[in-house]
Amino acid sequence: MNRFDYTRPASVAEAVQAGTGEQVRYLAGGTNLIDLMKENVDQPTTVIDINRLPLNAIEELDGGGLRLGALVPNSDTAWDARVEQRYPLLSSAILAGASPQLRNAATNGGNLNQRTRCYYFYDVATPCNKRKPGSGCGAIGGVNRIHAILGASDQCIATHPSDMCVALAVLDAIVQVTGPEGDRAIPIADYHRLPGDEPWRDNTLRPGELVTGIDLPAEDFTKNYTYLKLRDRLSYAFALVSIAVAMRIEGSTIAEARVALGGVAHKPWRSTEAEKLLKGQQPSPQTFSAFADALLAGAVGQCKNDFKIPLARKGIVRALKQAAEATPQSQTDKRIA
C-alpha cells in the first residue's frame, strides 16, 4: 500500500471540495478500496475518509419511495424493516452477497462503486487494460471462467461483481450524486457502463463526484420476485450468474416483469425490450424460454466461460418461475426453489 494524504472532512461540501484530482479516492467501508490498495491496483495520493458524513440514514421519499443513504452499511439496508417489507428483492440480493462481516462494513455507495474481481485486474504482474490502459486484456484467451458473456469488448471482458446492483437495476433505482458541478440524479441503468474502449471507466461518475444516496421508487414487487444466485460454492462466492426478477401478476397474466442478470457483464444486464415479451403473457416455460433467448441475444463465451450461456438461460427460466409462483429463493435454504 502506497503512502497517501489522509483527510476526514466534516461535511459533504468539504468532501467534494477535497475530492477533485486524478488520484483522490473517497473511502467509505473500505472493503474494496483497501483491498485494491494492498494489491497496488489502486494507488491514491489522497484518501478522503467520508465515514463521518451524514449520509447514513434510510429515509422516506415523497411518493412512497425510500432513499438509502450512501453510507448505510449493506447489512443495515438488507435488515431494515422498511426495505424488508417493501423491497424484499433488494434485501435478498444483498444477503446473497459477500459475508456478514463484509456486509457490515461495506456501504451502499461502495457497493455501487466496487470494482471487478477479474484475476488479471487484481494481479499487477499481468496485463490488464482496466488497470493499466494499453497493456492488453489477460483474460481474453486466458483464465476466463468467471468473465463476461454479454457487452464485453476486445479491450476488457470483466464483470461487475455486485449482487445488490442487480436488484437495483430491476427496481429502477436512481443514484444521487453530488460534485463540483452540483447535484445529479443518475438512473441505475445509466450508472454503470460497458467497457468499450475505455475499460478503466466502470461508471458514469464525473471526476470528484460523490454518491450520496440511492433512491428506490415506490413499487410493489413484494410478492412476485426472486434473487437467484448461481456460484461455485453455496455461500461467500461471487456469482457465476445471478438473476433478479420483479414481477406483477394481474389475474393470470404478467402485467409487468423486470429481469436483470449479474455476473455476466460489466454492468447489471437488463433489456426493457426483451421484457416486452413477458408483458401480458401467461407464465409458462415457453414464454420464459423465449424471453431468456431474447435477453441473452448476442451472448458470446470466451471458451472457459461458455457454460455461463446455458447456465444463464436455465437460471432465467427458473427465476421467472420462482417469481411467478411467489416462491422467492431463500438465501439460507440452499435448495433451489
Partner 1 sequence: MATAAKIGIGSAINRVDGVEKVTGSARYAGEHPVENLLYGYIVEAAIAKGRVLSVDEDAARAVPGVVEVITHLNRPHVAWTDHSYQDEMKIPGSPFRPLYDDRIQFSQQPIALVLAETFEAARYAASLIEIAYETEAHNTDFDVALDEKYVPKKKRSGYVPPKDRGDAAQAFADAPLKVAGDYRLAPEHHNPMEMFGSTVEWHGDGSITVWDKTQGSQGVHAYLASVFGFSKKKLRVLNPYVGGAFGSGLRPQHQVFLAVLAAKMLERSVRVTMTRQQMFSHAYRPQAVQSIALGADRTGKLTAIRNAATTSTSRYEDNMENVVTWGLMNYDCPNADAEYTVAQIDTPTSADMRAPGAATGMTLFEIAIDEMAYAAKVDPLEFRLINYSPIDAMNGTPYTSKALREAFREGAEAFKWSERSAEPRSMREGSELIGWGCATGMWDAQFSKTSASAKLTANGHLEVACATSDIGTGSYTVMTLVAADTLGLPPEQITAKLGDSDLPTAPVEGGSWGAASSGAAVQLACQAVGKKLLKAAGKIAGEPLGGAKIEDVLFEDGCIVLKDTPTVRVPFGDAMRAADLTEIEEEATAAPGFGDMWKGLHKSKNTHSAIFAEVRVDEELGVVRVTRIVDAVAAGRIINPKTARSQILGGVVMGIGMALHEETFSDHRLGRWMNHNFGEYHVPVHADIHDIQVIFVDEPDPEVTPLGVKGLGEIGIVGTAAAIANAIYHATGKRVRSLPITIDKILE
Partner 2 sequence: MSIAVNSATYAAMPIGRVPTKLTINGETRTRAIEPWTTLLDLLREGEDLIGTKKGCDHGQCGACTVLVDGRRINSCLKLAVTLDGADITTIEGLGQPGKLHPLQSAFCDHDAFQCGYCTPGQICSAQGLINEGKARTREEVRELMSGNLCRCGAYTNIIDAVLDVIGEQV
* 66-69 and 239-250 strand pairing: unpaired
- Regarding 30 and contact with partner 2 (CB under 8 A), the answer is yes
Indicate which single residue of 6, 218, 273, 285 sits in contact with partner 2 (rule: CB under 8 A): 6
Q: What is the DSSP code (8-state) at residue 312?
A: H
- Regarding 101 and contact with partner 2 (CB under 8 A), the answer is yes
Could you give the strand order of the β-sheet that contains 239-250, starting from the edge strand earlier in sequence?
Answer: 224-231, 239-250, 253-262, 269-270
SS3 state of residue 5: strand
Here's the x/- map for partner 2, 37-56, by CB under 8 A: it reads as xxx------xx-x-xx-x-x
Where does residue 81 rank: exposed (0-12), middle (13-18), buried (19+ CB within 10 A)? exposed
Closest contact distance (angstroms) between CB of 111 and partner 2 is 14
Question: 239 near 230, Cβ under 8 Å?
Answer: yes
- Regarding 303 and contact with partner 1 (CB under 8 A), the answer is no
In angstroms, the CA 178 to CA 15 distance is 10
Indicate which single residue of 43, 59, 60, 100 sits in contact with partner 2 (rule: CB under 8 A): 100
State which of positions 121-180 bind partner 1 (CB under 8 A).
122-123, 125-126, 138, 141-143, 145-146
Closest contact distance (angstroms) between CB of 110 and partner 2 is 11
Crossing angle of helices 308-324 and 285-295, rounded to 10°:
140
SS3 state of residue 12: helix
Closest contact distance (angstroms) between CB of 324 and partner 2 is 25
Closest contact distance (angstroms) between CB of 186 and partner 2 is 27
Task: Give residues in contact with partner 1 (CB under 8 A).
Answer: 1-3, 38, 40, 117, 119-120, 122-123, 125-126, 138, 141-143, 145-146, 230, 232-238, 240, 307, 310-311, 314-315, 317-318, 334-337
